[in-house]
Structure 1
Amino acid sequence: MNTYFHLRAVPPPALRNSVNWLERLFEDDWEAVRRRVGGHREEVLDKRYLDQELLYAGAPPHRTEAEPKSQVVLGGRPVFHPDRHRPPFLVLTAAQAHRVARFLTMADFDALWIFARDELLPRYGGVTAEPETRGAFAAAHRELTAFYAQTAEYGEAVVKRLPA
């Protein structure tokens, strides 16, 4: 079973609201995707993606209408698969991706960590494993920030594929 969560940047004109197209977007090799959509950037989160979501979804409230903190990992408009046992794809518009990028670049990782720390540490070895655990979440935060910042710079949308 694939436990990785994929995010791919897509130029809005190339984006299709078709499950078949979205499946090909993630199943084709990188070069085929680059040719079809005119570019390719990807971020992959490991099996901790639900805990990474907790880091953001539990963030202190921010005064925004679109709640970008809740769109970082699992947010987006679902595109449902005909097989109801398969998870939907999630799509963020270019504007939503821009708001997420702004949230991430302005977010204080230390504040996010402090807020989620007590819930996360028991899952990863407790207080003695905090340096490694915090380091892994900080690295994922930096990678997500870079992915969304570059996506926003290019004015692209984001498509997310949940593990099946």
Structure 2
Amino acid sequence: MYFHLRAVPPPALRNSANWMRRLFEDDSEAVRLRVRGHREGVLDRRYLDHDLLYAGVPPHGAVDGPRTDVVLGGRPVFPADPDRPPFLTLTAEEVDRVAGYLASADFEVLWALARETLLPGRDEDGAESGTRAAFESAHRDLTAFYGQSARHGDAVVKWLVL
């Protein structure tokens, strides 16, 4: 299970769950090879934790806007199978706002706000440095993905691949 983000030129984007499903049909190894070009992004099964890093943790929750759109934000498009999660889409304008937010975000501040929430269950000896490094790496990857998508004027489609 992983959370997959894919850049799509706006003229190619379709408001069809079947079309969006076809965007994500490749196996995980093919996706990982393509991700190197930053036209796609992947978050592991801890994608909800990554969302906490950007959406804020109580009582410092983010207002609707670029912070909340980084991971889970977007307009839902529901597949025919009600047991499958919806696709999420961001317009090119929304991608540009998210890219601007990420480019100006200070990871140290984000980590400081979310640290206590993200570490429980991972608080073994030395776990903080590894956990922090994983979140910092994902932050760099998301910043690169959204930055390149914005430079190309792309929309973004996201989906939880089970």
* TM bin (shorter chain): 0.7 to 0.9
Q: Give yes or no for contact 1:121–1:127 (8 Å, CA) kept in 2.
A: no
* Change in 2 beyond 3 A, CA 1:76/1:24: same
Which stretch of structure 1 is more off in the superposition, 68-77 or 120-129? Answer: 120-129
Partner of 1:130: 128
Q: Give yes or no for contact 1:5–1:46 (8 Å, CA) kept in 2.
A: yes
Partner of 1:116: 114
TM-align CA RMSD = 2.4
Q: Give yes or no for contact 1:8–1:40 (8 Å, CA) kept in 2.
A: no
Q: Give yes or no for contact 1:76–1:90 (8 Å, CA) kept in 2.
A: yes
2:67 matches 1:90:
no
Normalising by structure 2, we get a TM-score of 0.87
Work out the number of aligned pairs and report it: 154
1:43-122 to 2 correspondences below 5 Å: 43-58=41-56, 67-122=65-120
Gaps of 5+ in 2: none
What is the CA distance between 1:124 and its match in structure 2?
Answer: 2.0
String of CA shifts for 1:18-40, please: whole Å, max 9, x gaps.
Answer: 11110111114769xx9xxxx98
1:155 to 145, 153, 156: 153
What is the CA distance between 1:47 and its match in structure 2?
Answer: 1.1
Partner Cα distance (1:127, 1:28) in 2: 38
- Moved segments of 4+, more than 4 Å: 28-31, 59-62
Partner Cα distance (2:26, 2:41) in 1: 15
Identity %: 62
* Change in 2 beyond 3 A, CA 1:107/1:126: farther
